[in-house]
Amino acid sequence: MGGDRADYLSGGLRPFTCPGCATVVLVKKNSPEHTSVQWTTATSACPELTSSDRPSAQVVGCPRLRAGIAAAVAEGRLAVGDG
């Protein structure tokens, strides 16, 4: 993978532990509206994603993870545009 592409895809990602299930993902807040999340484990580790009757790829996302990221931004533990 080229350096620019690798930086675009993974640059600035920080480990973040979900407050709901303790799953660790990589997160980057590109802007107040845009959050990049990369799973470091199978999404089956998240009880919110696996509790749905739909495959995890069709679930919008984990509300606990989303709320945890929002709290980290509000508390200054995760910066917007940092990376």
Distance between first and last Cα of the chain: 19
The DSSP symbol for 37 reads E
Structure tokens given for 17: 């532990």
Quickly tell me which residue has 């200054």 as its tokens. Answer: 76
Q: What's the rounded Cα separation, in Å, for the pair 47 and 62?
A: 9
- pTM of this prediction? 0.78
For residue 64, which phi and psi values (nearest 5 degrees)?
A: -70, -40
For each of the chain's 83 residues, which pLDDT tens digit applies?
566 766 666 678 999 999 989 999 999 998 999 999 998 887 778 888 777 676 656 667 889 999 999 999 999 999 998 55
